[in-house]
Amino acid sequence: MLKKIIFFNLLFSTFIIQISKSAESGGMPQLNPEFWISQIFWLIISFGILFIVLSKFILPKIRNNIELRKSEILDNIETAEKQKTEAENTLKNYDELIRKSKNESKNYFNDARKKIIEDIEKKKQALDKEINIEIKKAEAEVAELVNKAPEKIQKIAIETSSDLIRQLIGEEVNNSSISAIVDDLYKKNKGKYYGN
Amino acid sequence: MAANPMTQFEVYRIGPEIKINQIDISFTNASLFMIISALSILLIFNLGSSKKNIIPTKIQLLAELSYSFISKMISDTAGNKGKPYFNLIFSLFMFVLFCNMFGMLPYSFTVTSHIIVTFFLAALIFIGVTVIGFIKHGFGYLKLFVPSGVPLVLLPLIVVIEIISYLSRPISLSVRLFANMMAGHTMMKVFGSFVISLGIVGGWLPLSFSVALTGLEILVAFLQAYVFAILTCIYLNDALNLHH
């Protein structure tokens, strides 16, 4: 601060010396006091007009413009943010919807599959039942046949043996004795022929 | 030498002599350039503030950038309390800037190269700041001259120095602007007359100097307006926030 003061005082004093020197030679028009009052007068007028018009009319307008822009930008940012959240919500909803419909379609698929499997199962069971019945029928038939077979075979055996005997010895043999023998043989060999 | 480099600072009457009570207030070339500066500021800023576009036009951008520039300068140096003086500092800065810049036009007159003009503005600021200081702090404003933390022995000396420094403010403020403008314009004139006297053979060197000086002077014109405004803000800060 001290340096500054000394510097300016020096500057000013040298300046005054210069002024007086140049004033003698008529060098510096700044120091001619002829128009000082006029300059101050016109300075007050021009600067006064400038100050009044600027502060009353122009600067408030500029201030308003700047503030208006600021608030508008803030508003725009706010709306943009709102729209962003809206868009995000919509996207979420969309995702949800997609997920739901995927699940639904899966469910449909599973249902259809279950139904089909059930259907197949049912039909299979029905078929099995039928087949079982058929098998049972067949088995019964077979059993009947099996049951009837020895009698028939016995009959045939008796007939054949009686025929053979007649042919061999030319004599009629009592059928009952033959059948007794066949029965006896049959009983003996039953397990051999019909063992299941 | 072709012309005295100081003739560019001469004030002469334009039109008739106007006298009120023996006081000469005639319209001069200085008055002309003051009026031109003030009117061009008003014109530019009126154009810049009349439209209310969200995306500013070029002239609107210029006005708004200068507004925020000065606004930032005040809040940086004087804080929030400096806001009410925005209009005055804005007008001061623009007036000084435009007077300096109009002075850069050939054959024009530089209003701020006259000590009486700059001294009047500086005195206005000095008186205004002092009045504001006394209104805000009463006689407590005198504490400005008594810095805290100074040994008691040195205090009388420091107080005297502080008072001198305070009183020299208008002088330093006015002489800085006036001397800068005058020195620059004189230099340009001197180099210009060298170009004439050295002719086509040797004139190129002073001409290139003159071109460089023109750039420098435009910088100085802006810088001095800025310094003038920022010093006003600093003085205002002293009056608003008593730091000592």
pLDDT above 60: residue B70: yes
Using alpha carbons, select from B39, B46, B79 the residue that is nearest to residue B62. B46
The arithmetic mean of pLDDT across residues B90-99, rounded, is 93
Chain B contact present for A52, CB below 8 A: no
In a domain, B2, yes or no: no
| Domain span including residue B193 | 7-240
The arithmetic mean of pLDDT across residues B182-194, rounded, is 89
Give the pLDDT score at A152: 79
Q: What are phi and psi of B24, to 5 degrees?
A: -85, 115
Alpha carbons B128 and B170: distance in angstroms, whole number: 11
- Claim: this prediction has a pTM higher than 0.90: no
Chain A contact present for B47, CB below 8 A: no
pLDDT above 70: residue B198: yes
A42–B30 CB contact, under 8 Å: yes
Chain B contact present for A11, CB below 8 A: yes
In a domain, B157, yes or no: yes
Position B45: which residue type? F
Best mutation target, A1, A2, A47, A75, to test chain B (most B CBs within 10 A): A47
B109: left (phi over 0), alpha (psi -120 to 50) or beta: beta
A47–B34 CB contact, under 8 Å: yes
Residues 62 through 101 of chain A touching chain B, CB cutoff 8 Å: 62-66, 68-69, 72
In a domain, B210, yes or no: yes
Which residues of chain B have a CB within 8 Å of the CB of A43? 34, 111, 117, 120-121
A62–B27 CB contact, under 8 Å: no
How far B199 CA sits from the closest chain A CA (Å)? 26
A39–B11 CB contact, under 8 Å: yes
Q: How big, in percent rounded to 5, are the helix, strand and coil portions of chain B?
A: 75, 0, 20
In a domain, B1, yes or no: no
Angle, in degrees to the nearest 10, between helices B169-202 and B115-137: 150
The model's pLDDT over A17-54, given as tens digits with 9 standing for 90+, comes to 544 444 445 577 778 777 888 888 899 999 999 999 98
How far B116 CA sits from the closest chain A CA (Å)? 6
How many structural domains are present in chain B?
Answer: 1
Give the pLDDT score at B1: 40
Angle, in degrees to the nearest 10, between helices B86-103 and B58-77: 120
Alpha carbons A9 and A32: distance in angstroms, whole number: 22
In a domain, B85, yes or no: yes
- Give 10-residue mean pLDDT values along chain A (196 residues): 59 50 59 83 91 90 88 93 96 95 94 93 92 91 83 80 81 75 76 58
pLDDT above 90: residue B81: no
Q: Which residue of B has its CA nearest to A34?
A: B24
Give the pLDDT score at B2: 45
Mean pLDDT of chain B: 87
Give the pLDDT score at A192: 66
In a domain, B38, yes or no: yes
In a domain, B71, yes or no: yes
Q: What is the ipTM of this complex?
A: 0.88
Q: Which of B6, B114, B178 sits opposite A39 (nearest CB)?
A: B114
Which residues of chain A have a CB within 8 Å of the CB of B179? 11, 15
Bridge-partner residues for B13, per DSSP? B28
Q: Are B70 and A82 in contact (CB under 8 A)?
A: no
Chain A contact present for B209, CB below 8 A: no
In a domain, B185, yes or no: yes
Best mutation target, B25, B118, B162, B166, to test chain A (most A CBs within 10 A): B25
Distances (CA, A) of A64 to A57, A73, A79, A194: 11, 14, 22, 120
**Strand, helix or coil at B14?**
coil
Which residues of chain A have a CB within 8 Å of the CB of B68? 66
Antiparallel, parallel or unpaired: β B23-24 and B19-20: antiparallel
Q: Which of B42, B94, B117 sits opposite A39 (nearest CB)?
A: B117
